[in-house]
A and B are shown apart, each in its own frame.
Chain A
């Protein structure tokens, strides 16, 4: 939980720090660039000023120029003008720490705390020297001011990022807490609980939807397992109770070899019924777990169906029924012959035990196997249920069988990637079981 709690603030903090550091680095670079640009600008100003003074000299002579220099000096402005003789002695004007006979641009350091000066020196046509200079401190101040703007903005941005980050963190934490609560509820056994969805359709909602679908699947599976457990308990308890009562009664009465023998035989028959139920359950479980798939081979479903039908024709005849086969030749599927044989046998057993009238067995192109009879059929709302383990229609309770036949057929169908569908027979009477299997390509020779 600590990690979840600190995740979003950590992101916000990281973003803030990155913004801050980047803006400070930018400030350093910006300061250098601004200073450079402002100094170039200053040089242009100095050059223009010097040019004007040279023109004044040409118009008013040395005397006029020295008066102008005096005016500049009195002004105390950022601009200094100094007039020197050809050997460097000052004529007029004022310039702290003036070099003699300066030619071109130079930066003059000054003693003490005073800012350095930028100076431009030139020789006048008469031989005298002119120096124009300006204080660099104003330029540096401007550069400084310019350079500090981005980091200040950056710091502000970092603060905003931090604030937004915390807001986001709160939202995130609330949503995660919802997910976490739901997950804990599911863990505690409430399988109906689902993760909250905000309805915004964002990544969180998509994740929640996926997990909810998974939870729904788990709920169904657990319900099925519960149902099966209940069914197993119920369907095995009855025969086991009968068995127990029978043995108990036999034990209580006087020993009589004939009666005891009969009791034991009955007990064995009962036990065999229980064992065959167990065997059927285990086989369904193994089939549903995918056992038998490794034995899949391309097989002739038409031949397999014809063989099973041949075996069942006399069984039907003996009970006054009839099987009408119509089997399309050459239908091949990839599958397990023993399981498919049992699936068809189960459908025929079912039609014989629970149906009535003529049984039609058809194998149509596309590997669609259909067994239908003219019996009472199964009401639509019960059709799904009879494919579940142990589900038996009330009227079938007295007929032989484990109640697992159709479950196994459905499991075999699923194992083969097909499906078992129960519907009303085309004749409008009776049940039709349709086993659709994926058709295999032509056999390879």
Chain B
């Protein structure tokens, strides 16, 4: 996977680039908006991560220029702390995701992976399947093997999100944002409660577990394999 990182803060850029490189990603770093825009326009990338505030053209300007040139590479915008309310602005400019600084590296990695594996929009998609778990998006039903699983609407939305990103680490923040549109961190363990309920329903009847907790990061939904059992 080739990633473009546009970030003027040297420490942040080095830290992120090093982390991604250790996972075997190819990372190009631009230290200002001008270089970043040049690279983004002329090189193929799987994901672009850009700071919002940059010397030269800022993150949103780069984003608009890319979209205007017909480049639809997923873009993750990094923003200053406390400016989450400006998310709408970024999304309107064509950002695919938004992350406030300072962030946990695990959070950034999870989001980059989610963006890179983002499937092309499938308008006709009516069923999601992960292993023996099947979700009918039209009838709003879920079954595991032959067993029907009754889900509350909130649980259904959570499972749908997880089934659209099988095998990916989904952080609590991602769940809060993408499933419930919560742009803040509740002081109660909302996500854990919902995930554990979902887990219980999926594993009822002795089926092997599908949702795994990644310590310090989040949750992964994947097809149960014997070695994971």
Contacts and interface: CB of A to CB of B under 8 A. Distances in A.
A285 B85 CA distance: 12
Given A315-B190, A349-B186, A337 B83 contact: no
Contacts of B85: 283, 286-287, 291-292, 295, 336, 338-339
A318 B144 CA distance: 25
A337 B181 contact: yes
Interface in A285-340: 285-287, 291-292, 295, 307, 310-312, 314-315, 318, 336-339
Interface string B172-196: 0000000011111111111001100
Contacts of A282: 81-83
A158 interface: no
Contacts of B180: 307, 311
A341 B102 contact: no
A196 interface: no
The DSSP consensus for interface residues of chain A is helix
Size band of the interface chain B makes with A: 20 to 34
A264 to B, nearest CB: 11
Contacts, number: 81
B183 A312 contact: no
A342 interface: yes
Contacts of A265: 216
A229 interface: no
Interface in B168-223: 180-190, 193-194, 197, 216
Nearest to A283: B82
A278 B154 contact: no
A205 B75 CA distance: 61
A239 interface: no
A400 B187 CA distance: 6
Contacts of B86: 291
Contact of B81 (A275, A315, A352): A275
B197 A314 contact: yes
A349 B183 contact: no
Given A283-B85, A286-B83, A337-B181, A349 B194 contact: no
A286 B153 CA distance: 33
Given A338-B85, A338-B183, A349-B186, 16 more contacts: A276-B185, A279-B100, A283-B85, A310-B154, A311-B194, A312-B190, A314-B194, A315-B189, A336-B85, A339-B85, A341-B181, A341-B182, A342-B183, A345-B182, A400-B187, A405-B187
